[in-house]
Amino acid sequence: MKEMTKTKRILVKQPLMRRVIIACIPCIISSIYFFGWRSLVVIIVACVSAFLTEFFFEKKKGEPVSEAVFVSAIIYSLILPPTIAWHVLIIGIVFAILFGKMVFGGFGHNIFNPAMVGRAFVYICFPVALTATWAPPAGGLLGGFSLWSTAVPDALTSATPMAMLKAGTIPSPSLLDLFLGNIAGSMGVTSVLAILIGGFYLVITKTANRWIILTLVLTYAISNGILAVLGIEPVPGMLVALMGGGFLFGAFFMATDPISAPRLLPSQIIYAIIIGISTLVIRNFSVFNGGLMFSILLGNMFAPILDYYFKNRAKKAVVKESIS
């Protein structure tokens, strides 16, 4: 009986986090199909490393590990290049759990999305590994299911299609390739189809906040569409912007993190607008090709401030009504 109790306390069950893991399955399958079985091993290694990191700290407090640690590890893995080196992978996820979560007090207390913290850290510390070596997608009926990895030395590309599009070296990728995921990119977010399957599951099960998703998508789509119509370069246009660079994955899976996102509706709308506009600016007019990561972290920073403002505003309105 003692062993059973101890086993139960190693991991605390979180149905909401389990639904996020289920929603990630289509993206995991697409990562294997396009880039080989190495992608699955990357996810497993990240999950084990994340679990051990949190277990080490929670054990001292006598607390169980949260299932949310696997969500962070899976999302972190899916937004990395399929060629990611093992030491970069492990350093990033350990940093994500340690400095993105545990230093704030563990699950439920973190200000920033841990997966974004980990990726931002390795992006800055290992820029070549995160920006310069990308594997092409596998071809054929079986795709990557018959391969360990598509990252053979002669087939490595120097940049993703979205980065080359921004530089003006290639025309816009076809919408079909973007929809299916048949492009180079982060291993689990190239397929819009896979993202939408998982994303709709999150919305239907009320796991992800629909107002954040809707506001973020509309803000980004409309702003890109306006700039494209005005002929401002290198803005690619509404559909290419929405479907490329893993934007929809960020909208469904990362911006909606229930811990680091705001809780009040007005805050959520402003939060989503901040992320959408920041992504537009950083992606198109900065030296960084992917602005969504930095934009979500920026939005996380404003989330508690927005909630604080609207809570105080509501309290003042109640006091004013009671006085009058």
Residue 14 sits in a domain of what CATH number? 1.10.3430
257, part of any domain? yes
Q: C-alpha 82: how far from its chain's center?
A: 15
Q: What would the pLDDT profile of 29-67 be if each residue is shown by its tens digit?
A: 999 999 999 999 999 999 999 999 999 988 888 888 999
| pLDDT recorded at residue 113 | 95
The pLDDT tens digits of the residues spanning 255-270 come to 999 999 999 999 999 9
In a domain, 306, yes or no: yes
Task: Decide: helix, strand or coil at residue 27.
Answer: helix
Q: What is the pLDDT of residue 31?
A: 96
**DSSP code of residue 103:** G
* Under 8 Å between Cβ of 79 and 248: no
Write down how long the chain is.
324
Domain around 179: 2-314
H or E, element range at 45: helix 38-61
- Structural domains of the chain, count: 1
Residue 55 lies in a domain: yes
What value, to the nearest 5°, has the Cα angle with vertex 144 and ends 140 and 149?
130
In terms of phi and psi (left: phi > 0; alpha: psi -120 to 50; beta: otherwise), the region of 294 is: alpha
pLDDT reported for residue 166: 61
Establish if 221 belongs to a structural domain. yes
Buried residues in 271-306 as b, exposed as e (16+ CB within 10 A): bbbbbbebbbebbbeeeebbbbbbbbbbbbebbeeb
pLDDT score of 107: 85
Digit-coded pLDDT (tens) for 282-318: 988 887 777 899 999 999 999 999 999 999 988 887 7
In this prediction, residue 237 carries a pLDDT of 81
- What pTM value is reported for the model? 0.90
Per-residue pLDDT at 82:
92
- Average pLDDT per 10 consecutive residues for the chain, totaling 324 residues: 48 89 97 96 97 91 90 96 94 96 89 95 89 82 91 59 59 83 90 96 96 97 92 85 90 95 96 96 82 94 95 83 70
Domain membership of residue 321 (yes or no) is: no
pLDDT reported for residue 158: 53
